[in-house]
Structure 1
Amino acid sequence: MALITKIREKSGIAAGAIAISLILFLIGSDLFQGRSSFFGGSKDVVGEIGGEKIKYQDFQSKVEEISQQYTQQSGRGPSEQELSMIRDQVWNQYVLDFAYGKEYEALGLAVSPEELVDMVQGNNIHPSVRQQFSNPQTGQFDKNYVIQFLKNFKTLPASQQQAWVNFEKSLSQDRLRSKYENLLKLSTYTTNVEAQKEYNAQTAKASVRYLYVPFYSMPDSSIAVTDNQLADYLNAHKEMFKGQDTRSIQYVTFPIIPSKLDTASFYNDLKRLAKELAVAKNDSAFAMMNSDIKTPYYATLAEIPEDVKGQLGNMTPGGIYGPFKNGMSYSIYKYGGIQKDSLYTIRASHILVNAPKGASDSVRATARKRAESILAQIKGGASFEAMAQQFGSDGTAQQGGDLGYFKNNGGMVKPFENAVFGFSGTGLLPSIVETDFGFHVVKVTEAKTNTRYKLAAINRTISPSQSTMDEVLRKADAFAADNQSKAEFEASLKKDKSLLMLRADKILEGSTSFNNLQNAREIVRWAFDDERSIGDVSKVFQNDNQYIVALLTASTDAENVKIDDFREELTAGVRADLKAEKITEKLAGISGTLEQIAQKYGAGALVETANDITLAQGVLTSAGADPTALGKAFGLKVGKRSKPFKGEGGVFIMETIKSTPAPAIADLTIYKNSAKMLAAQRTSFYINEAIKENAKIVDNRAKFY
């Protein structure tokens, strides 16, 4: 399944088209459940696919069309992240039309109108249709909802009708891709020889003794590596070092933080508000009008911050309390007493032993016994939290089973809710609780209460004043103006130790962020500008709560791979080869048993034994799953010793002391089917890669967005 997922990620172009159609169709079109089910060459050429040039005007027109439909149906414009996704889907649609489309046409593949009807309301419903038209009570697909929707189709707004048309188009494209892939999957096969090879790799066993000298036993400093050696290694391993268009930068940040004057002014303002809140006739309205962050006037324990909760016992009606700090925000409260609610709030933890509804009686019985055993251990003094981390089978396990606060309003399944709210006080429930999910060991950590607290809260966030922001901007501007070269930039950093310099290496052209900087697209576009040169210093960029000045330090070119692009990796490869030569040369001059050779070699040489290893899953003690060493182990005759040879992590001398061939087998069907299934699973990925390579796709979107 993991391989299938990976393949789908690599080749999900049609799935992406369906996703964007769902965005436009599902928002606002849920007529039956009252809810939305989505919460998601030339200078004017955006790209080229299969020889077809895509003009910026055409591309942007499609993006704007979909964005307008999104706005009409969702009531808001797409966020930057959603807009990026829309651009991706428009691009993928072009890939489908210009790259995949030609392949479908050449084979005569099509989806008939009758086939489309079958996918929407027939016997072979498409998963995307099933997802939308489900019964809210049962969660199961209901064809009647589809029929009702289509009957009302002409009464829908034009934008929603168009969205459905686009959605149906994406269903056809997904079906076409499935047909194409299935057709090619039929061409995969596994021979008897391949099946026998797979069987042997999994079943044949060998036991070996070997001398191993790992590369790490020889200091890197003892191996000198030259640029000529790096160049030779790069030329010999070009397939391992594929080029990319990247940029590397250094950048200085100028944080925009409140000054001392800002802080003093903020505290004075907070004191003034506290006095006014104390005498306000409508304290809740006054607090709401003067808060940066709104909080409810009637609050349950679940809604009250921990540090405030701890002071509730000392509060008297009419009193002003605070300020309480939370990050850069401060809160003051006017306490107004308590009020009883119709619902109770409680806090509890649980340990779920999973045994879902529908599991066999034996599975449920085993789960019950395990839960009862856990309960008994906790009653005997074991830590509930530790047991939850060890035995819990849901997402709360790592939090010691903590479920947080919840109310008796149906948020929990009924048996669980009844058991927890039927318990008085705090502590461990005496019996396990059975639900459709399995068996729960439960501890109430805060007793149920229907008390709500009247808290008029003024929440204010301290922020820099405009004058402070202007002063920081002035400093950033001065730095950028005074340091227009790499030498000046670096000299200023050495001179002024208060400046914070960071670096970002090998940023990709389409990146929107790097390091911890989000929304950094403007900086990336600056670095990739065609007129930019190494050593250029940027203008001042504003990024959230800081100003940034960047220095372009390096670039790589996908079409011109240089040593410096992969210096670290190349150095490691050359160094390993040179170490292997030195180790092999030294070992070749030593004779005797493996132990004698190791002793004469000196520090770093290990002699180990590995018993009953297989070629498919063999692991050596210190060297791990070294494929070269494993291959040598199965290639040697029993009693024979190899010459020193280089593995992935060191040099070996190997002796095979026992060999157990795979037993004769009459039927290789299992191994043949397994190999065939793996080959079929890879087909989607290979198809996608082949089509993209054949289409010679050039993606220039990063130059426009």
Structure 2
Amino acid sequence: MSVINNIRKHSGWAVGFIGISITLFVLGDLFGNNTLFGGGNNQTLGEIDGKEINIQDFQSRLDVMRQNYEAQTGRAAGEQEMTALREQAWNQLVIDIAYRKQYDKLGLTVTDEEMVDMVQGNNISPAIQQAFANPTTGAFDKSAVINYLKNLNTLPVAQQQAWADFEKNLRADRLRQKYENLIRLSSYVTKAESEREYMAQNTKASLRYLYVPFYSVPDTTVKVSDSQLESYLSDHRDEYKGVDTRTIQYVTFPVLPGKDDSTALSTEIKTLARGLASAANDSAYARMNSDIALPMDMSYASMSDQLKEAVKTFIPGGIYGPYREGDTYFIYKYGGTKKDTVSTARASHILISPANPSDSAKAAARQRAEAILNQIRGGASFEALAATNSTDTQSAQRGGDLGYFQNNGSMVKPFEDAVFSMSSAGLVNRVVESQFGFHIIKVTDPKSNTLYRMAAIAKTIAPSQSTRDEAYRKADQFAASVDSKAEFDEAVKNDKSLVVATANRIPESSSTVNAIQNAREIVRWAFDDKTGMNKASKVFETDEQYVVAVLIGKTEKDEVKVDDFRDELTAKVRNKLKAEQIMAKLGAVGDLDAMAKKYGAGALVETTNDVTLATGLLSSAGFDPLALGEGFGLKKGQKSKVFAGENGVFVMELVDKTEAPKIADYTPYKSQLQQAIESRAAFLLNEAIRDNANIVDRRAKFF
């Protein structure tokens, strides 16, 4: 039975592996009743490469996937799981239809002999190796596969079907690999391209330049008209793709527990605390009475800040609490500590990634990382430097914080080794290199492998029915009083307790509205053909609140308007107008210092030495390929004309240029380019297939 569970597990892995190749669409996650909202009896879910996808056929496929998931996990699929399964089912259809057409054109197949080789031959599939790994050693056991197949016909029908599905996924995965490899290996880098890359990485120039950044001209001094925006959009239509979205404003009426609700729970949890203290099996008692499943063994990292402070005073056998965190009360029976097999730590980092895989780019990245480390050693704020320098944009928003993690391979090895070599909090006194770049690391909570045994009960304050009824009454009264945007605004103005929120450009497939989860009903209302502009909605119930909304904006895929991209277009046109002003004021090209002095505030004259085309950065302007290209194209001592770059207006002067010496072998540079092309091949291939298949996706109308 454990083998078939592994097969189910890795069947999902195989399907998921296929699914990764397709760019995911965002889906809604509430299934209607097989009816097309606002679309009469149309049962067509979409179209792939000219083939219509019927909702019943899709649902049949989805039902099989749901049943496999529930058999694998032992629990019913929730809304979040169903969203993922619908996405997987759709991606399988793309594979089966759009990809299959390409396979057939090329004559690609996976023979039965190949399948035998993948399952029990000399080239075992990774999925088979994982499914039949020895549970003790983790090593693959081929004899287990052979024995399983010998007895396959004696197994229940459901298990035989699971194996058939597993093999089907293996075959599909191998076919996709063949196709992608065929495209990937058909790419070629010429000697001329390799030589050009070598020259870009190794030819160095010293540039002196006049730079007037666009931001030096206040935005308020440059007026942008709608006609200018229309003209710009018309000239750059291909850059601005239309999409169906809606913008709404809304107010919420939260269902918050009242004083009576809190009092009732407080009494209940005191009774539970006495029961927990006397329970013969405290862990079983806690599980039966807790609203939230809590682990018996807690690491310090997994605790709330309140519990971290409190646990220092706990004595084994004692009952502690209740502690309130939000709307939840916690009580704990403390059972002492034990040692875990892995350690946990918390750290922050600043990641400096090279611009490309070349040695020169890596050297430049290391040099920059070393400079940042020196700034921190000198007293600079780690968090501030992370926010402005780290190429890990997600952690940069948190000052570099990565949260807690274990030394179990969850982080790349050089990073993990550096963090867990620290016995106390503080800065790792060196730059750490990994495949992602160069890390400056600060350990904020040092390693610990202590686990705290806690029998814990969590009880959440639930609003009573009378509380819910009162919240709905207020929402319904508000909705009944408004029909238009004007009435909506007036009603909000008269009720100081209401706060208007705006959700911009909601896609039709979205299941959320800002932070509101399970909001498909609101999204469907916003996209309903019967919903007019500036019209207010009925009352929607979402999670623990009621919502009343008003539709204030829409964009259409087939009709791109200035308002759809107003902010982006305004910035582009404004910079263009600024460039014209700056260039007119600078006048004719002459001595750079004299030009800057004549221009006045905002003009900078700077020099950048030993810059390359491949990795070049200008001091204040940063990465500006237009300026770099203009500078490298000059002769020694020559100045460029006045021109607009990416971030401002320039006059470039080439002070000196050292050409890269000729070499006999450009193979390393050819390999770099080849690897870059091959790494993009699968993604670009999928994009091309999708575009060629003319996929029409109407799933949001059904789910």
Does TM-score exceed 0.5, indicating one fold?
Answer: yes
Number of residues paired by the alignment? 600
Cα deviation for residue 638 of structure 1 reads 0.9
Stretches of structure 2 that go unaligned for 5 or more consecutive residues are 1-13, 23-38, 348-406
Look up the SS of the partner of 2:425 in the other structure.
Answer: helix
CA distance in 2, matches of 1:205, 1:580: 29
Stretches of structure 1 that go unaligned for 5 or more consecutive residues are 1-11, 21-40, 358-362, 379-383, 408-451
Partner of 1:604: 602
TM-score, normalised by the number of residues in structure 1: 0.76
Cα deviation for residue 563 of structure 1 reads 0.4
Partner of 1:385: 425
Deviations 1:90-130 (A, max 9, x none): 21222122211111111211111001111111111122222
Do the aligned residues in 2 keep the contact of 1:49 with 1:697 (CA within 8 Å)? yes
Partner of 2:632: 634
Amino acid at match of 1:386: G
- 2:556 matched to 1:552? no
Look up the SS of the partner of 1:325 in the other structure.
Answer: strand
CA distance in 1, matches of 2:607, 2:432: 39
TM-score, normalised by the number of residues in structure 2: 0.76
1:225–1:185 CA distance, 2 compared to 1 (3 A): same
Cα deviation for residue 297 of structure 1 reads 13
CA distance in 2, matches of 1:505, 1:685: 29
CA distance in 1, matches of 2:135, 2:296: 32
- 2:14 matched to 1:16? no
CA distance in 2, matches of 1:54, 1:45: 6
1:231–1:675 CA distance, 2 compared to 1 (3 A): same
Q: How does 1:645-660 map to 2 (within 5 A)?
A: 645-660=643-658
Look up the SS of the partner of 2:167 in the other structure.
Answer: helix
Partner of 2:583: 584
Cα deviation for residue 618 of structure 1 reads 0.8
Cα deviation for residue 202 of structure 1 reads 1.1
Do the aligned residues in 2 keep the contact of 1:120 with 1:129 (CA within 8 Å)? yes
Partner of 1:674: 672
Partner of 1:531: 530
Amino acid at match of 2:663: I
Partner of 1:405: 450
Look up the SS of the partner of 1:500 in the other structure.
Answer: coil
1:230–1:185 CA distance, 2 compared to 1 (3 A): same
CA distance in 1, matches of 2:117, 2:106: 23
CA distance in 2, matches of 1:351, 1:543: 35
Cα deviation for residue 160 of structure 1 reads 2.3
Deviations 1:402-446 (A, max 9, x none): 425238xxxxxxxxxxxxxxxxxxxxxxxxxxxxxxxxxxxxxxx
1:78–1:585 CA distance, 2 compared to 1 (3 A): same
1:274–1:158 CA distance, 2 compared to 1 (3 A): closer
Do the aligned residues in 2 keep the contact of 1:18 with 1:167 (CA within 8 Å)? no
Q: How does 1:268-667 map to 2 (within 5 A)?
A: 273=271, 291-293=289-291, 305-306=307-308, 309=311, 312=314, 323-330=322-329, 384-386=424-426, 398-403=443-448, 405-406=450-451, 460-589=459-588, 592-667=590-665
Deviations 1:336-357 (A, max 9, x none): xx9899x7799988899xxx99
Do the aligned residues in 1 keep the contact of 2:261 with 2:463 (CA within 8 Å)? yes
1:171–1:280 CA distance, 2 compared to 1 (3 A): closer
1:399–1:521 CA distance, 2 compared to 1 (3 A): farther
Amino acid at match of 2:426: A
Amino acid at match of 1:16: I
Which has the higher mean CA deviation after the structures are superposed, 64-73 or 466-475? 64-73
Amino acid at match of 1:189: Y
CA distance in 1, matches of 2:295, 2:640: 81
Cα deviation for residue 283 of structure 1 reads 11
Cα deviation for residue 597 of structure 1 reads 0.8
1:560–1:619 CA distance, 2 compared to 1 (3 A): same
Amino acid at match of 2:17: A
CA distance in 1, matches of 2:287, 2:672: 67
CA distance in 2, matches of 1:492, 1:602: 52
Cα deviation for residue 238 of structure 1 reads 1.7
Cα deviation for residue 76 of structure 1 reads 2.2
1:389–1:247 CA distance, 2 compared to 1 (3 A): farther
Amino acid at match of 2:84: M
Do the aligned residues in 1 keep the contact of 2:204 with 2:612 (CA within 8 Å)? yes
Partner of 1:93: 92
- 2:81 matched to 1:76? no
Do the aligned residues in 1 keep the contact of 2:522 with 2:540 (CA within 8 Å)? yes
1:190–1:602 CA distance, 2 compared to 1 (3 A): same
Do the aligned residues in 2 keep the contact of 1:584 with 1:644 (CA within 8 Å)? yes
Deviations 1:512-566 (A, max 9, x none): 2242222222222222223222222222222222111122121111111110000
- 2:694 matched to 1:696? yes
Do the aligned residues in 1 keep the contact of 2:250 with 2:501 (CA within 8 Å)? yes
Cα deviation for residue 592 of structure 1 reads 4.1
Look up the SS of the partner of 1:519 in the other structure.
Answer: coil
Amino acid at match of 2:212: V
Q: How large is the Cα RMSD of the aligned pairs?
A: 4.1
Look up the SS of the partner of 2:246 in the other structure.
Answer: strand
CA distance in 2, matches of 1:347, 1:69: 33
CA distance in 1, matches of 2:130, 2:294: 36
CA distance in 2, matches of 1:653, 1:278: 77
Partner of 1:58: 57
Look up the SS of the partner of 2:610 in the other structure.
Answer: strand
Cα deviation for residue 281 of structure 1 reads 10
Amino acid at match of 2:261: D
Which has the higher mean CA deviation after the structures are superposed, 207-216 or 61-70? 61-70
Partner of 1:211: 210
Look up the SS of the partner of 2:580 in the other structure.
Answer: helix
Amino acid at match of 1:90: A
Tell me the percent identity.
47
Q: How does 1:133-212 map to 2 (within 5 A)?
A: 133-212=132-211
